[in-house]
Amino acid sequence: MKKLILIALVSILAIGGCTSGRIVIVGESESTPATPKNQGRVIAAQKHVESGKKFLKKKKYQKAEREFLAAIELDPRNQEAHYYLGLTYYRWKKYDDCREPFLVAIKLNPDDPDWVCQVRIYLGLSFEYERDYDRAEREFYLAMTLNPSNDEAKHCWERVKYKHKKHYKHDDDDDEEDEDEEDDD
- The confidence score (pLDDT) of residue 38 equals 83
Percent of the chain with pLDDT over 70: 69
Which 3-state string (H, E, C) describes 81-143? HHHHHHHHHHHCCCHHHHHHHHHHHHHHCCCCHHHHHHHHHHHHHHHHHCCCHHHHHHHHHHH
Neighbours of 166 (CB within 10 A): 11
Does residue 112 sit in helix, strand or coil?
coil
CB within 8 Å of 144: residues ≥ 6 apart: 117, 150, 153, 154, 157
Calpha distance 44→39 (Å, rounded): 9
Q: Do domains 40-94 and 111-172 have the same CATH topology?
A: yes
Calpha distance 27→175 (Å, rounded): 57
Domain chopping of the chain, boundaries: 40-94, 111-172
143-165 confidence digits (pLDDT tens): 999 999 999 999 999 998 888 77
Going by pLDDT thresholds of 50, 70 and 90, the confidence category of residue 10 is: very low
- The confidence score (pLDDT) of residue 6 equals 38
41-94 confidence digits (pLDDT tens): 999 999 999 999 999 999 999 999 999 999 999 999 999 999 999 999 999 999
Going by pLDDT thresholds of 50, 70 and 90, the confidence category of residue 35 is: low
Q: Domain 40-94 maps to which CATH number in 1.10.3470, 1.25.40, 3.30.700, 1.10.3230?
A: 1.25.40
Q: Answer positive or negative: Cα dihedral of 50, 52, 53, 54.
A: positive
Fold of 111-172: 1.25.40
94-145 confidence digits (pLDDT tens): 999 999 999 999 999 999 999 999 999 999 999 999 999 999 999 999 999 9
Query: Which whole number is the average pLDDT over 169-176?
Result: 50
**Identity of the residue numbered 13:** L
Going by pLDDT thresholds of 50, 70 and 90, the confidence category of residue 29 is: very low
